[in-house]
């Protein structure tokens, strides 16, 4: 019987020892009290409690948290009632102050956010409220962060999730937005038509300029073509005249050469006076074959003519 008691005591001591071993996970802090008084903060790792004297008063997460609060009724400066719900991003930075600073931190943040939101929106009119979300967010964040610092809480960001004005205000805003869209549409159409007309006018202007330049280039090309044609015709005429002149010169040279050769041969043959007179008569016959209306016959040729007549008669008699 005594052995069972000892075994039970050993088992109880082992269970007690195991329960005194505490493992703090990552991004957590354990607040430890000894005899109901704050003792220390345990960070990540393995720790051992003193049995019957120490206890874990609170397990605090250091992770960033998000709290979505229900919509709150607020009144703008121009007396428009609306509902706004907020989202708060916060993080615990001091586990001791978070544990002992306030009884219910979440309720405190929610109520303080609601009162700060009412005060901030009460200074703005409806239009400013709808168009100044970033300003409102920054202002509420700064105020909450300053007030919750004594609780060991860091307010990272406050966002206005939804802004719900009254139904009649929504209808009026929808009509206003519709009218604004129609106005912008008309402005865009007018600007489009204006740009279209400008583009058409510029296209016509460029087209006229291009046609004028094309006509100008065409005239220039025609003038250059005519100029080149005239130059080519003049060159052809000049070339023709040069060739004709060269042909006449060559013909004259050939005639002169032939004449010189005939005179040379005649001179080598030592012709008689009768032959010379006969040649003169042939030359006179060629000269008389032209278009001259008057011909002066030299006296020598007259004698040659008589001689030729005598020779002709002698020849005829010889034939008979």
Q: Give the domain CATH number at 154.
A: 3.30.479.30
> Quick one: 102 and 137 in the same domain?
yes
Query: Based on the domain organization, do 57 and 99 belong to the same domain?
Result: no
Q: Kindly state whether residue 118 falls inside one of the protein's structural domains.
A: yes
For residues 74 and 107, membership in a common domain is answered with: yes
State the Rg of the chain over Cα.
67
Domain contains 243:
yes
At 281, the pLDDT band (50, 70, 90 cuts) reads low
Answer yes or no: are the C-beta atoms of 140 and 116 closer than 8 Å: yes
Question: What per-residue confidence (pLDDT) applies to 178?
Answer: 84
Residue 32 lies in a domain: yes
The tens digit of pLDDT for each residue in 230-239 reads: 888 888 888 8
What pLDDT shows up at residue 315? 47
Residue 152: other Cβ atoms inside 10 A: 20
Over residues 132-144, mean pLDDT: 91
In a domain, 182, yes or no: no
pTM here is 0.52
Are 249 and 284 in a shared domain? no
- Residue 218 is part of which domain span? 195-270
Least confident segment among 195-209, 245-259, 269-283: 269-283
Number of domains forming the structure of the chain: 4
302/18: higher pLDDT? 18
| 109 and 92 both lie in a single domain | yes
Query: Could you tell me if residue 174 is inside a domain?
Result: no
| Bridge partners (DSSP) listed for residue 23 | 46
Q: Give 29-60 pLDDT, tens digit per residue.
A: 999 999 889 999 999 999 988 888 889 999 99
What are the CB-based long-range contacts (under 8 Å, 24+) for 172-177? none
Query: Do 85 and 151 have their domain in common?
Result: yes
CA distance 111 to 148: 12
64: number of CA atoms within 13 Å, CB side? 6
* Domain contains 287: yes
């Amino acid at each position: 019987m005594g052995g069972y008691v000892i075994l039970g005591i050993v088992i109880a001591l082992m269970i007690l020892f195991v329960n005194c071993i505490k493992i703090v996970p990552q991004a957590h802090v354990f607040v430890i009290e000894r005899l109901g008084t704050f003792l220390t903060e345990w960070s990540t790792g393995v720790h051992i409690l003193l049995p019957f004297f120490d206890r874990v008063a609170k397990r605090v997460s250091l992770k960033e948290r998000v709290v979505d609060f229900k919509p709150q009724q607020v009144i703008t400066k121009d007396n428009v009632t609306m509902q706004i719900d907020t989202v708060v991003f916060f993080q615990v930075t001091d586990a001791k102050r978070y544990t002992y600073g306030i009884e219910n931190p979440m309720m405190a943040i929610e109520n303080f956010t609601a009162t700060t939101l009412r005060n901030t929106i009460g200074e703005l009119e409806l239009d400013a409220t709808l168009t100044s979300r970033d300003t409102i967010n920054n202002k509420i964040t700064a105020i909450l962060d300053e007030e919750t610092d004594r609780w060991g809480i860091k307010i990272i960001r406050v966002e206005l999730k939804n802004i719900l004005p009254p139904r009649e205000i929504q209808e009026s805003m929808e009509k206003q937005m519709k009218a604004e869209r129609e106005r912008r549409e008309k402005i865009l159409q007018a600007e489009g038509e204006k740009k279209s007309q400008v583009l058409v006018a510029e296209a016509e202007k460029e087209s006229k300029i291009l046609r004028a330049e094309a006509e100008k280039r065409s005239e220039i090309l025609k003038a250059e073509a005519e100029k080149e044609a005239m130059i080519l015709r003049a060159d052809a005429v000049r070339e023709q005249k040069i060739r004709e002149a060269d042909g006449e010169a060559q013909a004259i040279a050939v005639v002169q050469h032939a004449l010189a050769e005939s005179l040379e041969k005649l001179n080598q043959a030592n012709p008689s006076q009768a032959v010379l007179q006969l040649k003169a008569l042939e030359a006179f016959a060629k000269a008389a074959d032209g278009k001259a209306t008057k011909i002066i016959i030299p006296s020598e040729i007259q004698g040659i003519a008589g001689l030729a007549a005598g020779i002709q008669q002698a020849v005829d008699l010889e034939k008979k």
